[in-house]
Amino acid sequence: MPPLWLTWARELQAIAQTGLTFSTSPYDRERYQAVRSLAAQILAEHSDVKLDRIEALFAEQAGYATPKVDVRGAVFRNDGALLLVRETADAGRWTLPGGWADVNETPVQCAVREVREESGFEVEVLKLAAVYDRDRHGHVPPHAFHVYKLLFVCKVTGGAARPGLETSEVRFFTIDELPSDLSRARVRRHQLDRMFEHWGSPGLPTEFD
């Protein structure tokens, strides 16, 4: 679970964001802006991110505050090897292809697009294997916003290995070959192990937190 300071900062940010969305009173809006500033100060005090960057990030958020959605594709070849991509960010560590869900795309469309953009492969989505709460799986560093992770099991239908703008290498790994230098902000080893299990046993139900 996230540290208490992060939980408090998120809660204050969400209250401020929702309040600024629906409040018409200038006095209330001023108070919500003060709450948002306090949330940013808490995050800045406990992280390496500068206060002005956090304040700008919070100011970009509008509407009722809800968790963000991260979509990942667990892509398998017919021989059971799993596709991973090496990020250009996060010190070049390995992860499942994916990213934030985009507006006007279904979760499946997001997964297919992210895999294509980051790996060069075309895929068919077979099942939603897991809906994870990022806070409950040991991802580091903590994220400023609450995040849900959707992991889809996919199979390759075409294309060829081709790194994208955010990736530098594309490879398939058996379960015994999985790299140790995973991007822990994006994926954890126990999640990859579960994807292998879902691939091997398609009838497994979707798991969720």
Tens digits of residue pLDDT in 95-150: 999 999 999 999 999 999 999 999 999 999 999 999 999 999 999 999 999 999 99
pLDDT tens for 4-15 read 999 999 999 999
Mean pLDDT of 166-184: 97
pLDDT of residue 1: 78
pLDDT of residue 129: 98
Over 90: is that where the pLDDT of 33 sits? yes
The answer for residues whose C-beta is within 8 angstroms of residue 139's C-beta and 6 or more apart is 184, 185, 186, 188
Task: State what percent of residues in the chain have pLDDT above 70.
Answer: 100
Radius of gyration of the chain (CA): 19
Q: What is the mean pLDDT of the chain?
A: 96
